[in-house]
Amino acid sequence: MKQDQRVNFMNAITQTGAAVSIARLSKAYRTREDDEVLALDQIDLDFEPGSFVAVVGPSGCGKSTLLSLLAGLIGVTEGTISIDGEAISKPHPKIGVVFQSDLLLYWRTVLDNILLPIEIKKLDVSRYRLRAEELLTQVGLDGFGNKYPSELSGGMRQRVAICRAFIQEPGLLLMDEPFGALDALTREQMIMDLQSMWLRVRNTVLFITHGIDEAVFLADRVLVMSPRPGRIDLDLKIEMPRPRQWNSAHEDKAYHGYVRQIRDIFEAKGILVAH
């Protein structure tokens, strides 16, 4: 690898994360029967640049709605969302998204899938090829660049989708249950890979999950949402040193305290029944 090229990449990826500001945000959907479903109700949130924020909440509480609004995929009913002071109303180049299903293009190789956002932004693809390979190595897919998605397992495809999000160096990375469909071992590996990728880039992350454990392990801050209409019931700061090691973090008293606090909320609301 040429030294000068490498230096350029390091400069490119040391940009700081985006600041996100959400004020009095509400979202109501109109159903086909013409009823109104209030999914989010008056949410106020600010994300520190470079922070890792996880959102947990019961099914249907409005988590994906929040993500779609931030991604500019749907419009707000009330309130405002801004990224680095700029209002969001459509997909923004500073924002990358990873969904539960990988959404890779089957006719493109792994490398060409990762490079797609670069092509769309009309940047010099050859300059990013090295970075794409570096990302593949980081997620344990060294040498898989020329394979097609159909030749990979579900977990491998999801890793490629994460590389594709990271290559854009998004100031804000939105992830909607990215590990929901994975087996436990793959999921554990991906959690660790995500932590190390994020520690290098330090973008702002909004990570939606059903897993209280992965939220506490990964995040600087966990937001617990109420059943619909979604509001923020708890805003919990997670203070554990980084990089977090799997075994020691899971044995940490503080970790169990955080998990307990979140479970208590779900139990109090009858979402989880204590046994």
Ligand X SMILES: Nc1ncnc2c1ncn2[C@@H]1O[C@H](COP(=O)(O)OP(=O)(O)OP(=O)(O)O)[C@@H](O)[C@H]1O
CA 38/CA 53 separation, integer angstroms: 23
Residue 31 interacting partner from ligand X, Mg ion, none (CB closer than 5 to 8 Å by kind): ligand X
Between vectors from CA 131 to CA 82 and to CA 171, what angle results, nearest 5°? 10
Q: Give the nearest distance from C-beta 42 to ligand X in angstroms.
A: 15
Q: Does 209 bind Mg ion (CB under 5 A)?
A: no
- The radius of gyration of the chain from alpha carbons, rounded to an integer in Å, stands at 19
Assess 203 for contact with Mg ion (CB under 5 A).
Answer: no
| Residue 64 lies near Mg ion (rule: CB under 5 A) | yes
Q: Which does 143 bind (CB under 5 to 8 A by kind): ligand X, Mg ion, none?
A: none
Stretch that binds ligand X, among 59-67, 165-173, 232-240, 259-267 (CB under 6 A): 59-67
- Of the residues 3, 11, 31, 247, which one makes contact with ligand X according to CB under 6 A: 31
Neighbours of 158 (CB within 10 A): 26
Contact 113, 147 (CB under 8 A): no
State in angstroms the smallest separation of the CB of 263 from ligand X.
Answer: 17
Q: Specify burial of residue 223 (Cβ count, 10 A radius: 0-12, 13-18, 19+).
A: buried
Q: How far is CA 141 from CA 38, 173, 218, 246, 255, in A?
A: 42, 21, 22, 21, 31
Q: Is residue 64 part of the contact set for ligand X (CB under 6 A)?
A: yes
Q: Which CB, 111 or 208, lies closer to ligand X?
A: 208
What is the footprint of ligand X within residues 227-266 (CB under 6 A)? 228
Residue 246: contacted member of Mg ion, ligand X, none (CB under 5 to 8 Å, by partner type): none
- List contacts with ligand X (CB under 6 A): 29, 31, 37, 39, 57, 59-65, 228
